[in-house]
Each structure stands twice: as C-alpha cells, then as structure tokens.
Amino acid sequence: MRLYLLWKLPAAWFMGIRVRSCDLGKCVVTLPYSWFSQNPFRSTYFAAQCAAAELSTGMLALAHLQEKPPISMLVTHIEADFFKKVSETLTLTCTDGAAFQAVIQKAIDTGEAQIFEAQSIGTLPDGREAAKVRITWSFRRMNL
C-alpha cells in the first residue's frame, strides 16, 4: 500500500497517510500530526484532513469496483466540518460500503452517471470527533 501511495498519490505518502484497514463495509485511514501535515498554527492542515478523508472513501469505492466493468470515478464536491483542533494522529473512517455497492451497480445497470455523497468521520485517539468530511463521487460506466 505504501508503494501504491508513493506511485499514485505522492502527496498522501508525503503526509504519512496510511490505510489501516479496508474491506467491503468500511475503510479506516490514519493521518499523523507531523511537520508534513501541519499548518502554521500548530494543528493539522485542513487540506491534509480532506485528503485522508478522500482516501478513506475512495479506497472503499475501489474495493467495490473489483471484477466489475470499467467505471469512471470522480470527486465532484467536498464539504467539511471541523470541530476540534487536531494536533495528534487523526483516524478517518468511512462506513458507506453498502451504499457504494448499490450506486456502483446502478451505474453499471443504467449506463448513466450516478452521484453519491460519502462521509468520513475523523476521530482523535481519545474517541472525540474532530472532523466530518462529505465527499461527493460520480460513477459512470465507461464505454470501450
């Protein structure tokens, strides 16, 4: 996975984002607080949090694209709420696996673009919710 990040998502690799677990139901990603992910105010930069949230939702979508016809996937919108200052490792979790499966299958069946808003929740090591990031994905079957 680290080589995949370095090759395909070098900014995520640089920030230290790690996929901790991913199955068809949920994906868990961590973002360490470090010089590579911080802002000038000694907290984790919002864009780093959004990047980790995107990875948690995108990996879950990719899990559902295995052994399917070619599907184009694209982020069309990001919206986030930040509740706590993050100056330690942040864990972002997306549990939208069943919904991803349904929307991807609909894109395959209809041939039309399908829009889905996935949610990733960021929690601190003590369990407090620090961020909620909503990422809107578009899925469309590719005509080859």
pLDDT tens digits, one per residue of 51-89: 999 999 999 999 999 989 999 999 999 999 999 999 999
Task: Give the pLDDT score at 143.
Answer: 79
3-state secondary structure of 35: coil
The answer to whether the pTM exceeds 0.95 is: no
Task: Give the pLDDT score at 4.
Answer: 60
Listed by start position, the domains of the chain span 2-141
Share of the chain above pLDDT 90, in %: 78
pLDDT surpasses 60 at 110: yes
How confident is the prediction for the chain on average, in pLDDT? 91
Task: Give the pLDDT score at 8.
Answer: 65
Task: Give the pLDDT score at 5.
Answer: 54
Written out in words, the top-level CATH class of the domain with range 2-141 is alpha beta
pLDDT surpasses 60 at 106: yes
Q: What is the mean pLDDT of residues 80-99?
A: 97
Q: Vertex 102, ends 98 and 108: CA angle to 5°?
A: 145
pLDDT surpasses 70 at 7: no
Strand 71-82 relative to strand 90-94: parallel, antiparallel, unpaired?
Answer: unpaired
Task: Give the pLDDT score at 14.
Answer: 74
Angstrom distance (rounded) from CA 81 to CA 61: 22
3-state secondary structure of 114: strand
pLDDT surpasses 80 at 26: yes
